[in-house]
Structure 1
């Protein structure tokens, strides 16, 4: 179904956010950008993806489109051309295709990949090559690439043209009250969690193999749902799968855990990891390139090494303190105050 824009849809905001992949971490990140630049008028133009909706209330006026991807790109181009906001912030690779159009020097184009599509491991080498060629070509256009991780910023810088600015825009989560800390030395059974969609990106097979290889007496929990075969693999490994939960219960599951183990095969700057850090749950992350530079303690990129790291976390107090300290340091960098300052610089004199 094609959305017919009304005259009210063309009210001019200071910043127009455009996303084809509205849901999950992108949805959360966009809400924080809006929340942490409150002096500006924001509008959101998105292609709805109800299966990824995290039910987070967005304070900005939203214009939705329910058609195909090509139809969305045409509609978004028309919307931008007619409303002419001073800043257009494109979110994710497919919305980034709008960089092929020339909207004129009076519109500042900002692009945030939220994990480049060419990092995907659930598609062919040919498809990844096409994604890389497209990103390389579009990165030569006049724009600002606002990367959400040091790895993403480095990737952008390698492709950037002479008229491309690359900046770092860290993801954040709202401040939350931390629960009273519990000691890992207590007699309770330790709990290790991972949260997210059961999908190739989050790699539940890695989590399942880690659970099988670990020797510690641990309750392994996956917070979320998704692919049925992948869910079965988790459950066969003894992992409890909660299914989809409201946001407050997801955060409760994370806060009650002794350790958050992030198993994703590729990433941008995952929101669930930030949520774990915010509530004081120590983080261990799989040692993939995209997680480097975010400040978390990394394991080697294999399930057996991850299992050894989990065992060491529960048996070695020094290692546990190292993981906790790294997690605490990440909270200082990924804070609303830091993001607000970055957004002030990014959006400049808009508004």
Structure 2
């Protein structure tokens, strides 16, 4: 994976939190001949957990909240860093990064980490507008790099003439589970069920509450590891789901030792890091059956709360053993590193 010289990449995002934060720090931690610089904010998710790791990024700068100011600051960052490629992330970051790259004639890679027109918590009119904005900006991308196969398909549909690549989400040391069959041996007799992530409309808390109501009658205890919207959090707690709030890495490691099952509910998604993290932790996992997660084994997908609980019991019995290897064969660090470097080289015009 050598290019003959070290490339410089400038990451641009206004959503440095959650899965985007995990993904960007994952890119920066890869063993590649790439310097990673970042201009960022957590405009949509301001909290104390979002500061970039200074050990991973060569430079870190703050992205202003105003749209015009953000574009100007990104232009200034490009002129200061002199990157070989700008890597723009998320919806607004995608606009800021691509506009600034155009103004400075810098190649740009764009990764949405979940396209805004896929949202199901907004009107059809807003979704149409977001889709047209994405379509209008797609020609400004030198390469469009979806974080998942489904995201790449959506990017291709916006602009069939664009260059699209899949740079799959991955977690550190994820090669440890590549080509392995996910086994049910990690299950214990304890009926402990967890939902994990930020509490938002995207995470479909209503489905989680329906599952918890049925599961509780069958002896399962339920918790949501994470935090988010105050009203949704209260609804979860009122339904009998214990909400832990955000946990540190050490607290999360302790929590994982005491849970058997994880369910990922979602109304829309990219390819969430939590799925890969739970596979790596060898937790028994079910996911809501949405288009973005079509690569997950059919046996592990559910369409209703009743189906989810039925499959929980089959997992507990050991009679249901989903094969996750098609997912782990793609969503691992080796594939991610190869494709990320290939994108940067191609965008920068380096053979």
TM-score by length of 2: 0.84
Say which of 73, 76, 79 aligns to 2:74: 76
**Which residue number corresponds to residue 229 of structure 2?**
227
Contact 2:8/2:35 (<8 A) preserved: yes
**Which residue number corresponds to residue 330 of structure 1?**
327
What is the CA–CA distance in structure 2 between the aligned matches of 1:53 and 1:68, rounded to whole Å? Answer: 22
- Please state if 1:240 is matched with 2:242: yes
**Which residue number corresponds to residue 292 of structure 2?**
290
Contact 1:278/1:331 (<8 A) preserved: no
What is the CA–CA distance in structure 2 between the aligned matches of 1:239 and 1:142, rounded to whole Å? Answer: 43
**Which residue number corresponds to residue 218 of structure 2?**
216
Alignment of 1:7-86 (within 5 A): 14-49=8-43, 50-51=46-47, 53-54=49-50, 57-58=53-54, 59-60=56-57, 61-81=59-79, 83-86=81-84
**Which residue number corresponds to residue 342 of structure 1?**
339
**Which residue number corresponds to residue 192 of structure 2?**
191
Over 3 Å counting, the alpha-carbon distance change for 1:91 and 1:333 in structure 2 is: same
Deviations 1:3-26 (A, max 9, x none): xxxxxxxxx971100001111110
Over 3 Å counting, the alpha-carbon distance change for 1:114 and 1:102 in structure 2 is: closer
**Which residue number corresponds to residue 180 of structure 2?**
none
How far off its partner does 1:142 sit? 4.6
SS state of the match for residue 245, structure 2?
Answer: coil
- Please state if 1:318 is matched with 2:303: no
Over 3 Å counting, the alpha-carbon distance change for 1:251 and 1:108 in structure 2 is: farther
Q: Taking CA–CA contacts closer than 8 Å with sequence separation of 6 or more, which of the two structures ends up with the larger relative contact order?
A: 2
How many residues are matched?
331
CA-based RMSD? 2.8
Contact 2:199/2:229 (<8 A) preserved: yes
Contact 2:227/2:246 (<8 A) preserved: yes
Contact 2:199/2:228 (<8 A) preserved: yes
TM-score by length of 1: 0.84
Deviations 1:110-129 (A, max 9, x none): 00000001111222222211
Contact 1:148/1:170 (<8 A) preserved: yes
What is the CA–CA distance in structure 2 between the aligned matches of 1:297 and 1:110, rounded to whole Å? Answer: 35
What is the CA–CA distance in structure 1 between the aligned matches of 2:220 and 2:51, rounded to whole Å? Answer: 31
What is the CA–CA distance in structure 2 between the aligned matches of 1:85 and 1:202, rounded to whole Å? Answer: 36
Alignment of 1:65-144 (within 5 A): 65-81=63-79, 83-98=81-96, 99-100=98-99, 103=102, 107-144=106-143
Deviations 1:88-145 (A, max 9, x none): 0000011111334663796221000000011112222222111001011112335201
Contact 2:42/2:50 (<8 A) preserved: no
SS state of the match for residue 197, structure 1?
Answer: coil
Gaps spanning 5+ residues in structure 1: where?
Answer: 1-11
Which of 298-307 and 339-348 deviates more?
298-307
